[in-house]
């Protein structure tokens, strides 16, 4: 599974009309992609829905870049696989 592509898709869903080429791992969610706190909630819910995961608020709290989101999802998927 290409987690980056999944995250990209979810961001586009939250922020329709966004220039997709801006969504790169180093992009800052707030400054570069204009995602405010409510957008982040929507992003989390959208990813949960897509992946069947549960993302806790404090986990999302440390997220600054697109790469952070990808890393968080990957680690969650790994944990799930192990259990």
Partner 1 sequence: MVTPLGTGVDKNWSALCEGKSGIGPITRFDASSLRCRIAGEVKDFHARDFVEEKFAKRFDPFIQYAMAASEMAMEDAGLKPGQYDRSRIGVVIGTACGANVYFENAHRLVLQGDLRKVPPFFLLNDSGNMVSAVVAIRFGARGPNHCPMEACAAGANAIGLGLRLIQQGEADMVIAGGSDAGITPTCIASLDNLGALTTKRNNEPEKASRPFDADRDGFVTSEGSGIVVLENLETALRREARIYGEVVGYASNCDAYHYTSPTPDGEGQAECMSLALKDAEIRPEEVDYINAHGTSTLINDIAETKAIKKVFGDHTKKLAISSNKSMTGHMWGASGAAEVIFSLLTIRDGIIPPTINYETPDPECDLDYVPNKARKVMVDTVISNSFGFGGVNATLVLRKFEGA
Residues involved in catalysis: 36
The size of the chain, in residues, is 83
Size of the site for partner 1 (CB under 8 A): 11
**CA-to-CA distance for 60 and 37, rounded, in angstroms?**
10
Q: Using an 8 Å Cβ cutoff, are 43 and 69 in contact? A: yes
Q: Which of residues 4-63 bind partner 1 (CB under 8 A)?
A: 14-17, 38-39, 41-42, 45, 48-49
Query: Which CB, 52 or 82, lies closer to partner 1?
Result: 52
**CA-to-CA distance for 13 and 30, rounded, in angstroms?**
16
Q: List residues binding partner 1 (CB under 8 A).
A: 14-17, 38-39, 41-42, 45, 48-49
């Amino acid at each position: 599974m290409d987690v980056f592509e999944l995250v990209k898709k979810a961001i586009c869903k939250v922020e329709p009309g966004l220039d997709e080429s801006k969504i790169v791992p180093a992009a800052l969610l707030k400054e570069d992609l204009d995602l405010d706190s409510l957008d982040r909630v929507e992003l989390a819910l959208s990813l949960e829905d897509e992946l069947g995961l549960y993302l806790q608020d404090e986990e999302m709290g440390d997220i600054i870049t697109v790469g952070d989101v990808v890393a968080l999802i990957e680690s969650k998927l790994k944990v799930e696989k192990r259990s």
